Copies of this chain bind each other. A is one copy, B any other.
Amino acid sequence: MSRASDRAYEMIRDMILSGDLPSGAKIGEEALAEHCGVSRTPIREALSRLEAEFLIRRSDTQRSFVADWSLEDVEETFELRGLLESRAARRAAKRISWSQLARIKTHHAAIGEAIDAEMPDTQQFVEHNDLFHGVILEASASAQLTTMLARIIERPIVHRTARNYSFDDLKRSHRQHGELIAAFEQHDPAWAEAVMISHIRRAFHAYANAHIDQRIPDVSQAAE
């Protein structure tokens, strides 16, 4: 990630995720270029990627804006993610290797440690949660599924989900991971798929409950 366009991509993405760039804000290439300390060329490349990931949207005349997410959009995202990730789990159950299973158990254990502590270690939870799901994607052996999911997971909602988890949510998530492992050990596609659907569904409701009567992405009360 040493290329300028990659750095620009991460900077802009972080600005959106952190709320520095509020929903609906207009994005000028020139301004971003100056802010990121690069020229417009890598900025344009970064914007393309962000558009593909639905973090920004473009007007009919190619002006860029930070995407604003309605609750319906959020539910759509979770629906799509559940669809793709459950299919990945199904494929993974058929193909997962012994070493992949071993790795997934390692991450499972790490997550267990993270939430067994007095104060749950969210950092460690998120990190190994990503790795856990990453192994499933790898085992699914579908480059296309992997690519499509990668574009969804970068989304703000997915990113913020873990923060909204209660302690019970974290434990339930961990238990579902355990059940996924059992399904993988049995090489049972239907089981793995069902658990994954449930897993993602739960994540959605955790999110929805946390934002029950709020307008969704207004993290940024302080507009510049």
Contacts and interface: CB of A to CB of B under 8 A. Distances in A.
B145 A76 contact: yes
Q: Give the oligomeric copy count.
A: 2
Contacts of A147: 54
A49 B138 CA distance: 24
A148 B80 contact: yes
Can you list the 3 inter-chain pairs with the closest CB atoms, starting with the nearest?
Answer: A76-B144, A76-B142, A80-B144
27 contacts: A1-B62, A2-B62, A41-B41, A44-B45, A45-B48, A48-B48, A52-B52, A54-B144, A54-B147, A73-B143, A73-B144, A76-B142, A76-B143, A76-B144, A76-B145, A77-B144, A79-B87, A79-B142, A80-B142, A80-B144, A80-B145, A80-B148, A83-B83, A83-B84, A83-B87, A144-B152, A148-B148
Interface of A: 1-2, 41, 44-45, 48, 52, 54, 62, 73, 76-77, 79-80, 83-84, 87, 142-145, 147-148, 152
